[in-house]
Amino acid sequence: MFETQLPNVESLAGNDLATLRMLHRDIHDRLEEMIADPFANQLQISRLKREKLRVKDAIERLRSSMIPDLDA
């Protein structure tokens, strides 16, 4: 059902913030669908949750790299 492979977050790190946000939203939507199904594969749900966190971390790293360092 949800056996599609997700793109590697590290390969998306060079892409723009919007792409990562769209990926994060797609994973979120898949998770909501799977969680609503009482017979969903719990292992796959767990993997998607971890992937969602990896994407969120990549978003934060990209956002922080966009903020210039200020000399005090």
CA 64 to chain centre: 17
Reported as a single tens digit per residue, the pLDDT across 24-64 is 999 999 999 999 999 999 999 999 999 999 999 999 999 98
Which band of pLDDT confidence, cut at 50, 70 and 90, is reported for residue 66? confident
Query: Rounded distance, CA 28 to CA 20, Å?
Result: 12
Burial class (CB in 10 A: 0-12, 13-18, 19+), 39: exposed
User: Which pTM was predicted?
Assistant: 0.73
